[in-house]
Copies of this chain bind each other. A is one copy, B any other.
Amino acid sequence: MRGVIMHGPGDVRVEEREKPTITVPTDAVIKIAATCVCGSDLWPYRGIDTSDKPMPMGHEYVGVVETVGSAVTTVKPGDFVVGSFMASDNTCEICAAGYQSRCVHVVPMGGIGTQAEYARIPLADGTLVATSRQPTAAEIPGLLAASDVLGTGWFAAVAAEAGPGKTVVVVGDGAVGLLGVLAARRLGAERVIAMSRHADRQELARKFGATDIVDERGDAGARRIRELTDGLGAHSTIEAVGTQESMMQAIRSTRAGGHVGFVGVSHGVELPGHKLFFSAVHLHGGPAPVRRFLPELIELVMSGAITPGDVFDMTLPLNRAAEGYAAMDERRATKVLLTV
């Protein structure tokens, strides 16, 4: 089968890979219908995360079950399924508490590589959720978004305790940040302030429900948020970048007693304890337990209540994955969908 392999920074190739098979009875193998390039895939692409051997890429996926292991009971061949970027048993104590991304048996799908024609899904019963019917072509991008960026934005909004009466700030205007805007509004937030300086992303943020746009960043951005919130700061802030500047911007935009939900994978961040202490915010984040939210998100997509697939502003066939990486790296695209 064909699959994306990264050979080094900026070097993405579509090559022949061995087609996966069932290795243990809890596996499933799915035929990928659509996959995509993640903002986190850009870290190795830009040489910030490094690997000394070629890496299969991709961890977002939707598709059709081809075969299942003998222990799999909740999905069957022919089912259209959505899974998270972290495979999980969904039964351990950590999963039961809603933290499937830190399951005691967790398997990161990034190590398997879903930018490919097929993928083995470990712990299929715990990981995959079947849709109630075959989706239309128009529904597939939304379901694919649920697999990571929507689920991550949703978790960030939940971690930030976005809800009725709340003012929510969103730091980061990538796909996760934009879907954090959508999530915050769906969760009932009264006001959602998107921090963005790109006209096209501002437009999508407004479409997803942003009530205000702030184009300052860093200290100036945090000051502007204070001005917009009677000097107090937001109740809730979503951080969807993962840098020192964005984390501090998020913390400083939040009022004492407020909540910061951070989902940008931290790179080089060192949080000054003294500032965090006196900020008196709640801080919660990490790899999103997307599985917790999948049934609800699939229903919202299939009913047409939300259109998170709007974040995909470029679609390419899998063979042209390298063009998709380049477009995202150069910010010509927010999020690239790969058809398989």
Name A residues whose Cβ lies closer than 8 Å to a Cβ of B. Answer: 93-94, 97-99, 101-102, 104, 230-232, 242, 244, 247, 255-257, 262, 265-274, 276-287, 289
Chain B residue nearest to A259 in the complex (CB): B284
Instruction: Tell me which residues across on chain B come within 8 A of A278, comparing CB atoms.
Output: 102, 286-287
The answer, among B101, B232, B247, B276, for a CB contact under 8 Å with A280, is: B101
A-B contact pairs, 10 of them (CB 8 A): A97-B257, A102-B256, A102-B257, A102-B278, A242-B273, A276-B283, A276-B285, A278-B287, A281-B284, A283-B283
Complex: A268 Cα to B270 Cα, angstroms? 12
**B residues in contact with A268, CB < 8 Å:** 273
Q: This chain: how many copies in the complex?
A: 2
Q: Besides A242-B273, A262-B277, 9 other CB < 8 A contacts?
A: A93-B232, A94-B232, A247-B273, A265-B274, A269-B272, A270-B270, A271-B273, A271-B276, A278-B287
* Residues in chain B near residue A232, CB distance under 8 A: 93-94, 104
Which of A230, A256, A262 has the most chain B CB atoms closer than 10 A to its own CB? A256
- Taking the closest CB of chain B, its distance from the CB of A132, in whole angstroms, is 29
Q: A97-B257, A257-B94, A270-B270 are in contact. Are A287 and B276 (CB under 8 A)?
A: no
Distance between A228 CB and nearest chain B CB, rounded to angstroms: 14
Q: Would you call B269 and A273 a contact (CB within 8 A)?
A: yes
Q: Determine whether the beta carbon of B257 is less than 8 Å from that of A99.
A: yes
- Contact assessment for B257 and A266 in the assembled complex, using a CB-CB cutoff below 8 Å: no
B265/A277 in contact, CB under 8 A: yes
Determine the distance from Cα of A249 to Cα of B85 in the docked complex, in whole angstroms: 29
CB proximity of A251 to chain B, nearest CB, Å: 11
Asked if A267 and B256 sit within 8 Å, CB to CB, the answer is no
- CA–CA, A101 and B97, complex, Å: 31
A244 to B280, CA, bound (A): 18
Contacts A94-B232, A102-B257: A269 and B274 contacting too (C-beta < 8 A)?
yes
- CB contacts (< 8 Å) of A270 on chain B: these are 270-273
Question: Cβ of A284: which chain B residues have Cβ within 8 Å of it?
Answer: 281-283
Interface pair A283/B280, CB less than 8 Å apart? no
**Which residues of the other chain, B, contact A102 by a CB distance below 8 angstroms?**
256-257, 278, 280
Residues in B neighbouring A283, C-beta threshold 8 A: 276, 282-284
